Amino acid sequence: MIDPKTKLRRTMMFVPGNNPKMINSADTYGADSLMFDIEDSIAVTEKDTARLLVAEALKSIKFKSETVVRINHPTQTPFGMDDLKVILPAKPDLIRLPKLECIEELNLVTAEIERVEKENGWEEGTIRIIAAIESVKGLYNVREMCKHPRMVAIALGAEDFIANIKTNRTKTGIELYFARSEILMAARDAEIQCLDTVFSDVKDMAGFEHEVSNSRDMGFDGKSVIHPKQITEVHRLYTPTDIQIKKALKVLDAYEDAQKNHKGVLAVDGKMIDGPIVVRAQRVVDQAIAAGVNVEEKREQA
Amino acid sequence: MKNAVGREIPEKIAGLENIKLYQGEFAYQPEGNCRGKKIRVGKPGADKVLASIDEAIEKTGLKDGQTISFHHHLRNGDYLLKMVMEKIAAKGIKDITVASSSLSPCHDFLVDYIEDGTVTALETSGLRGALGKYLTKNPGKLKKPVIIRSHGGRARAIEAGELKIDVAFMGAPTCDHLGNATGKQGKSAFGSMGYAMIDAACADQVVMITDNLIDGFVYPYSIPQTQVDYVVAVEEIGDPEGIASGAIRLTKSPTQLLMAEYAAEVMEKTGYLKQGFSMQLGSGGASLAAAKFIREKMEAKDIKGSFGIGGATGIFTEMLKDDLFEVCYDAQTFDTTAIESIKENPRHLEVSASFYANPWNASPIVNALDVVILSATEVDVDFNVNVITDSNGTLMGASGGHSDTAAGAKLSIIVVPLIRGRLPMIRDHVQNVVTPGESIDVIITDRGIAINPKRQDLIAKLKDSKLPIKTIQELQEMAYEFVGKPEEIPVSQEDKDIIAVVEYRDGTIIDLIRKPLI
């Protein structure tokens, strides 16, 4: 079984939970995870419809991608706990909690998940949690919350967050710099994944590329996306280049050779290789394999 | 008697002579010569210009039982067919066969003329709208079934004398006093006159009807004065809004784009996307959108194509302009960008429907095609394609160049979503066959790609690709998992309930459209 904490999550596509056509075709575009939304994209009058529709879809369609359901807030809205009652028996891979602010919310939801797991005779941990930080309060509690055993990933929800800090989205992303950094550190400390917020102007592909490249370089594991055409772009940006792959393979080969032949200091192309460089090289190769690159072919070309 | 796609065809069909069964793409061997045009003598100083359509009908001596023809270049903006039919009906002429190269929703008024006996037969590439529904429900209203022909099949039938046209009425966006006509100029400009050319060359009499009669000379002309008997000027031959769309834009539908990308990928991975390749794209969303991805691949690998065939759209003529292709052969011009192109670009050539696709000439250009990408209303597990009837068996489409290009091209790709609404698009047997499975190589859906087992070479080339290759049965199963298997539409087996005969491009019968019992 794939470890839910390290599974490839370059893209998590948002799918409105009240749109049967979009739900049906959601997994044809190759997103690593599909997030069916019954929270912000669904009007109050449509909550029950969306929750039933998503539950039925999970039961009757064999999605290839990981399935995630974003429920309404469990304590700040009257819908969240009712969402869980309908959604959990349909066995999504993850529940996504919006506007997570304190550990009590996580405990409340986890208790409900455990109850349903027991009731159905499922193994404990069948359904995991990804949560989004969307407020300063949530950000201040993020370290503790990331360490909760149900958590596999943390995300940033930018729109509510910037409203909370009283500013606007900018091209530079300066307004989110601290929050992104803080969440990322908390995720790394807790050894869970970290996903970046959505980019909502689907026409601006250049702006999208810029933002994805930046968050990738910061260390994020993936991006939330709202349109199929953003998926290909993220996957392209998260696939190491030929040069990176070949260099990484050289490093790993040299390291293996050094291990076997008890060599001390080793160098590749005149540069000294030490522990962290080997770890990074392994990560590049792992990413390439995950993205479907034929690494053996690259090794022959290297 | 069963034909080669397993369809039961009776030995006799009321109103039809010389019934031949479809035996395979190139199985039928014709004999004999092409039909000649009636001899006439043009006199010095003769004036072809008449005062009205009325006068033209009188001059041609049109009478009960004859066949008149129209082209469909005015598409859904056509005023001409109605203007002519009103005059014919007012004169009390009955029992007319209307042989239009195709029919659009703007021709729904024909129902009235069928009801009053003015029109008793239709021969066309397609029909839709209220007319399609009416004929589907009332098979006995015409004296014989509608004859559905492909574009190449119609050109063949006319040149071979199977479809004999007494008078061709032709809308011309610009015409001179001698009868030279073009579709490239004038307020109703529609581009190529490819479908009118065969009628002009073969009809016994030709009446050119224009809303731009000029005093000088039309040059270059699409139809020469030597073929034109009369010229009539009218206010308007059509509604520009319905004649040509503004620049056709690429679809934004992610599903269509996904299939388009798969199509380009299949072309590349099978080796057909190479220096000097040729292609035609159908006018559906996904087939047209393939141009975007083909273009990207051509630019990335510095590939130059040889020719493309139109139905020309701006999407293709821009590739022509940018030297990605050498030539565009165009029998029908779809949008305003492409109309500009055929006017301005000497490498954008106007060709007749016969040059395009007639299987009975030495070399229709479809025979030189490497790749064609086409849409479908539905397909089946034998790779047969329907583009003429909907899932209730109602006439709603057109044969067009579908079977012509599929027979000619080395790689024929169908793009069709696996599911439309609640219906799976891969049937056990399509409601009606227009293009036989033997012509189809690859069916691309949004959930997977099936390769015709007769193309083991393609299967081998694609087996290690990242494309979602499945068998056609696997795709059908996948569709059933979502929406279940629909009930078959029962159709009447009585001979009197035959609505239409679908001719294959060589004139053999590939299928009959029978009245659905729903």
Q: How far is A193 from chain B (nearest CA, A)?
A: 27
Mean pLDDT of chain B: 96
- Contact of B106 with chain A, judged by CB distance below 8 Å, is answered with no
Is a pLDDT exceeding 90 seen at residue B227? yes
- The pair phi, psi for residue A148, each rounded to 5°, is -65, 135
- Which chain A residues in 265-294 lie under 8 Å from chain B, judged by CB atoms? 292
- Look up the pTM and report it: 0.90
**Which residue of chain B is at minimal alpha-carbon distance from A60?**
B482
* Average pLDDT per block of 10 residues along chain A, 302 residues long: 81 96 92 96 95 96 95 97 98 98 97 97 96 97 97 95 91 92 97 95 95 95 95 93 89 84 76 80 85 81 73
Residue B422's pLDDT band (cuts 50, 70, 90): confident
B10, B495 contact by CB (below 8 A): yes
CB contact under 8 A, A24 and B482: yes
pLDDT at residue B357, rounded to an integer: 98
Stretch (H or E) spanning B510: strand B509-514
Choose the closest CB to A28 out of B446, B466, B481. B446
CB contact under 8 A, B482 and A61: yes
Mutation test of the interface with chain B: which of A22, A25, A235, A239, choosing the one with the most B Cβ atoms within 10 A?
Answer: A25
- Packing angle of the helix pair B254-269, A228-237 (nearest 10 deg): 50
Pairing of strands B167-172, B307-312: unpaired
Residue ranges of the alpha helices (H) in B98-189? 110-115, 129-137, 151-159
A94, A152 contact by CB (below 8 A): yes
CA–CA distance, A125 with A104 (Å, rounded to integer): 18
Choose the closest CB to A29 out of B258, B419, B481. B258
- Contact of A24 with chain B, judged by CB distance below 8 Å, is answered with yes
pLDDT at residue B9, rounded to an integer: 95
Residue A123: half-sphere exposure toward Cβ, Cα within 13 Å: 5
Q: How far is A24 from chain B (nearest CA, A)?
A: 8
DSSP B361-396: SS--GGGG-SEEEE--SEEETT--EE-SB-TTS-B-
pLDDT at residue A273, rounded to an integer: 78
Residue B413's pLDDT band (cuts 50, 70, 90): very high
Is a pLDDT exceeding 70 seen at residue B307? yes
pLDDT at residue A271, rounded to an integer: 78
B448, B418 contact by CB (below 8 A): yes
Is a pLDDT exceeding 90 seen at residue B132? yes
pLDDT at residue B415, rounded to an integer: 97
Please state the separation of Cα B82 from the chain's center in Å: 21
Q: Is B164 exposed, middle or buried (0-12, 13-18, 19+ CB in 10 A)?
A: middle
Is a pLDDT exceeding 80 seen at residue B304? yes
Q: How far is B447 from chain A (nearest CA, A)?
A: 6
CA–CA distance, A108 with A111 (Å, rounded to integer): 5
> pLDDT tens for residues B423-456?
999 999 999 999 999 999 999 999 999 999 999 9
- Contact of B286 with chain A, judged by CB distance below 8 Å, is answered with no
Residue B297: half-sphere exposure toward Cβ, Cα within 13 Å: 22
B469, B458 contact by CB (below 8 A): no
CA–CA distance, A161 with B222 (Å, rounded to integer): 65
ipTM: 0.80
Q: Which domains does chain A have, with CATH numbers?
A: 11-237 (3.20.20.60), 242-301 (no CATH)
Q: Is B35 exposed, middle or buried (0-12, 13-18, 19+ CB in 10 A)?
A: middle
CB contact under 8 A, A229 and B254: yes
CA–CA distance, A24 with B478 (Å, rounded to integer): 12
pLDDT at residue A103, rounded to an integer: 97
B192, B183 contact by CB (below 8 A): yes
> pLDDT tens for residues B321-373?
999 999 999 999 999 999 999 999 999 999 999 999 999 999 999 999 999 99
- Contact of B446 with chain A, judged by CB distance below 8 Å, is answered with yes
pLDDT at residue B127, rounded to an integer: 93
Q: What is the DSSP letter of B39?
A: P
pLDDT at residue B21, rounded to an integer: 97
- Contact of B484 with chain A, judged by CB distance below 8 Å, is answered with no
Is a pLDDT exceeding 90 seen at residue B136? yes
